[in-house]
Amino acid sequence: MNSFIHRNLTLCHYFLGSLPLMIIFAALYFNFGSEAEILAFFKAHAQANPDIKSFAKIVTNWGNACLYPVYLWFLVTGIRQRKTDKSRLRFVLVFIAVQLIVSLLTVRFLKMAIGKPRPGEGPFFEPFSTKGAYHSMPSGHTCEIYGSTLPLILRYRNLLLTFGLGIFAAAVAFSRIYLNWHHPSDVFCGWMLGSVAGFAIHLFSKED
């Protein structure tokens, strides 16, 4: 019974943490209908609002980096407490391993293998291209931010933390669309991979 409640509570926080991004997707496709229309709107909006564009660049460039000190803290305190409590050290080591495998290696391979053009680069794919202009899918920023926030959400299962990190992760993901650096489908794919990473970190770092 406790295991059943634990699983359901974990899934509940996962969905709540992903909800802000899902609401953004629903609003975009409800109001615009196609990716081309979405990107055209935000391209014009960013050009007309340079301050918002500058803020979006800060979010997209520094969003993931904001969580590095958090995991560094886990690493430092985990090493210090390794003799009495190994859970923190195990958590951060699993986090590093999974992020390297999913957010770095898997994402890089898929970007090259798929060869999807970034917004404004034309309609034709170039599989196994080495050109960054054809590395649109999946969104690496989105994969990394959900691979970083979901483990914390699933570890602590605190509603305020879940919503806070969910909104923060959605902001990073949305900034990729707003700046016309990724198609919405790229971001969705990044969220899916980030979800895999987040659950893998949660499951493999558990001691029981």
Tell me: the pLDDT tens digits for 55-70?
A: 999 999 999 999 999 9
C-alpha to C-alpha distance for 102 and 104, rounded to whole angstroms: 6
Q: Cβ distance 130 to 112 under 8 Å?
A: yes
Q: What is the pLDDT of residues 87-128, one digit of tens each?
A: 999 999 999 999 999 999 999 999 999 999 999 998 899 999
Percent residues over pLDDT 70 in the chain = 96
The angle subtended at Cα 194 by Cα 166 and Cα 22, nearest 5°, is 45
Which residues lie below 8 Å from residue 92, measured CB to CB, with a gap of 6+?
Answer: 71, 74, 75, 78
Q: Which long-range contacts (CB under 8 A, 24 or more apart) does 124-130 make?
A: none
DSSP label of 137: S
The angle subtended at Cα 10 by Cα 198 and Cα 107, nearest 5°, is 15
C-alpha to C-alpha distance for 163 and 77, rounded to whole angstroms: 26
Instruction: Give yes or no for a cis peptide into 138 (omega within 30° of 0).
Output: yes
DSSP label of 147: H
Q: What is the pLDDT of residues 128-185, one digit of tens each?
A: 999 999 999 999 999 999 999 999 999 999 999 999 999 999 999 999 999 999 999 9
What is the structure's pLDDT at 1?
Answer: 47
What is the structure's pLDDT at 208?
Answer: 56
What's the whole-model pTM score?
0.94
Per-chain mean pLDDT for the chain: 94
Which residues lie below 8 Å from residue 130, measured CB to CB, with a gap of 6+?
Answer: 112
